[in-house]
Chains A and B, each alone.
Chain A
Amino acid sequence: MADAAKPATLFEKIWRRHVVVDRPDGYTLLYIDRHLIHDGSYFAFQRLKNRGLKMRRPDLSFGTPDHYMPTNTRNKEDVTNPDSKRMVTGLAINGAEHGVTVFDIGDRRNGIVHVVGPEQGITLPGITLVCGDSHTSTHGAMGCLAFGIGSSEVTHVMATQSLWQKKPKTMRIDIDGALGFGITGKDVILAIIAKIGTAGGTGHVFEFAGSGIRQLSMEGRLTLCNMSIEGGGRAGMIAPDDKTFAYIAGKPYAPKGAAWDKALVEWKALPSDAGASFDSDVRLSGPDIAPMVTFGTSPEDAVPITDRVPDPSTAKDATKREGLTRALAYMGLTPGTAITDIKIDRVFIGSCTNSRIEDIRAAAAVAKGRKAVVPSWIVPGSGIIKEQAEAEGLDKVFKEAGFEWREAGCSMCLGTNGEIGHPQERIASTSNRNFVGRQGKGVRTHLVSPAMAAAAAVSGHFTDVRRMKV
């Protein structure tokens, strides 16, 4: 074990505290404090059962069905596909059998797993958290180590509450200087991925730091860490600070009273020590970040709204050139087209990336007093967020502006619940992946922030939201 006096990173501090066994071959059995499950965990439960195993610590697992439930209904009977229905209904059944807390469909606490964890105070600074979903990196915004795992590893955690891990490398990503007006966590992470590439962080855990990060709200930080995986990093982390503690205080599963005071002392000791070293360092200038829009089929294909669709012939190598050419053909875009000249057919505001109350408010501020000119959906991240937005009258703002106000769930981010676009349909989406076919076969996805998506909804094309009166 490393010398305790040596300056340590946030990651290193959490890692050290969770080592169950260090093997001489470099593998560590890492203890898992929280395990989040969802309707997609169905097969992992099945595997556990087939092996005759029990969950070791059902009290440390929390479930919420999100991937397979349509967002125009809260009745599980409305799930028409029998395979999907089995996944949605299976979670509550498996949860009851194993003694796991499940926020089922119909419970106001139900929602997208990566929204529900922080919202319920299940996600806390200093813990290890895993989930069978790559966007588990989201939770690192609370100052914990959180990463996505495969279905076999889900079964492993169910049976042993631990995972075999090789210690990842660390990368510090500094955002120097204040972000400009109207710049969100989404713009920051897209700018980072455009710089480092979609494999830039492979094998690394990111720590996002610098004044540009401190400035972000918890919602903005969750968005930022959410897309760490799109930069290749399995986990993204942000040191907890007063904003973090204020967000957690009073949440249902957060520590209370004396336990809170004790936790706070520990949490305040978590940030990386001065002089702690990282395996690599990346810096971006905060003031230089503009609202970002993706034009291709990889999240690294992102440019500022003021820019144009790039020319593949300027790509740095043959692989990139071929990739860009293929991407532009799929996207139906011509090099040199101004991003603001790209017309859209549909808008999706939601997903574990951008469905929190601040996201909904930002979209509503743009929608207010305007009219959507394309079909536009707002899908809140949880029942609680939906209630809060309704209490603030935001649902009315959206309805008056011709947006569709829906129930919580993953929805059109990946369409496992049947909510997908049409072939060649061009969607401005606040989700996380613009992959080929991600939102439906042939669908052309452009990733943007909620305000930018709402601006596109009311304009019919991409628009610099900073130029709109909000």
Chain B
Amino acid sequence: MAQDKDPQEKVPARKPFTSVTAVAAPINQANVDTDQIIPARFLSLPREKMSPHLFRDVRYNDNGSPKPEFVLNKPAYKNAQIIVAERNFACGSSREMAVTVIQDNGFKSVIAPSFGDIFFNNCFQNGVLPVMLPEARVNQLLRFLLELPGAEITVDLPTQTVKGPDGMVDTFEIDSFRKDCLLKGIDEIAMTLGYEADIAAFEKKQRSANG
């Protein structure tokens, strides 16, 4: 029943997340849904072809030219690696491409007052850090980022802190399980396969209860 070899040998651990200091892009809109992040018509594309379509319909005109007013089209945010957004970011569809398309555009962390639950989980599955900060502080950060395009933010996982362009430091909550997985780059499937005996015992118990 036990694995014939250590599952960690089969799959290299994911790249760990520790800290990022980078330009942050403000998305000052509440309830941004995953349909906006990656419209459904691109979902059957292989991952390597999907990244140009991040925020496709709000980012580009019908003729494919970029809308200059959209934040990710502004030169100041070109190298952004952090997104700051309003409440309930990435609600809606479970499409994990909403995370991977953000990641493939160079983003490592998303800060918002709240997230869609499934997107929040999907972030951890891909090594992207979702950070929840109080709404008042997020609004303050958004204002800074809009007034000082290109301003940087530091998200530090070991100390669970976010340092804003104003130098103010906020701490954030994260479950120790999630933190540990990110810091060590743990692959969840590999980890769970280590619990094989427990799963088998559960199945045996369930079978006898139903038998």
Contacts and interface: CB of A to CB of B under 8 A. Distances in A.
B is bound to A: yes
Interface of A: 20-21, 23, 25-27, 29, 31, 40, 42-43, 51-53, 56, 68, 81, 83-84, 86-87, 132-134, 148-153, 155-156, 159-162, 164, 166, 198-199, 202-203, 229-230, 232, 234, 298, 319-320, 322-323, 326, 414-416, 420, 433, 435-438, 441
Interface of B: 10-11, 29-31, 33, 35-36, 39-41, 43-47, 57-58, 62, 86-88, 91-97, 99, 114-118, 121-122, 125-126, 175-177, 180, 188-189, 192-193, 195, 198-199, 202-203, 206
Contact of B199 (A160, A202, A203): A160
Contact of A416 (B44, B87, B115, B118): B44
B194 to A, nearest CB: 10
Contact of A232 (B91, B188, B199): B91
A386 to B, nearest CB: 24
B87 to A, nearest CB: 6
A158 B128 CA distance: 23
Nearest to A418: B41
Given A27-B175, A435-B92, A437-B39, A81 B44 contact: yes
B49 to A, nearest CB: 9
A323 B189 contact: no
A134 B29 CA distance: 22
A148 B98 CA distance: 15
A433 B195 CA distance: 39
Contacts of B99: 150
Nearest to A134: B94
A26 B202 CA distance: 19
B202 A20 contact: yes
9 contacts: A25-B176, A29-B198, A151-B122, A160-B189, A319-B86, A322-B30, A323-B30, A435-B36, A436-B33
Given A435-B92, A437-B35, A323 B29 contact: yes
Given A134-B118, A160-B189, A320-B30, A199 B88 contact: yes
B117 to A, nearest CB: 5
Given A164-B192, A229-B118, 19 more contacts: A20-B202, A25-B176, A29-B198, A52-B10, A83-B46, A134-B92, A134-B118, A148-B118, A151-B122, A152-B125, A159-B189, A164-B188, A198-B91, A230-B92, A319-B87, A323-B31, A416-B40, A420-B41, A436-B33
A25 B177 contact: yes
Contacts of A27: 175, 177
Contacts of A203: 117
A29 B35 contact: no
Contact of A68 (B39, B44, B193): B44
Contacts of A52: 10
B30 A149 contact: no
A56 B189 CA distance: 12
Nearest to A82: B44
Nearest to A410: B40
A326 B30 CA distance: 11
A160 B44 CA distance: 26
B143 to A, nearest CB: 12
B202 A31 contact: yes
B57 A436 contact: yes
Contact of A198 (B62, B86, B88): B88
Contacts of A23: 177
Contacts of B43: 40, 416
The interface centre, meaning the residue of B36, B47, B192 with most chain A CB atoms within 10 A of its CB, is B192
A434 to B, nearest CB: 10
Nearest to A20: B202
Contact of A83 (B31, B45, B57, B95): B45
Contacts of A53: 189
Given A134-B118, A150-B122, A162 B199 contact: yes
Given A153-B125, A234-B117, A162 B44 contact: no
B188 A156 contact: yes
Nearest to A156: B189
A162 B117 contact: no
Contacts of B122: 150-153
B44 A20 contact: no
B138 to A, nearest CB: 10
B133 to A, nearest CB: 15
B117 A153 contact: no
Contacts of B93: 133-134, 414, 433
A251 B188 CA distance: 36
A154 to B, nearest CB: 9
B189 A21 contact: no
Given A29-B192, A435-B92, A198 B176 contact: no
A84 B192 contact: no
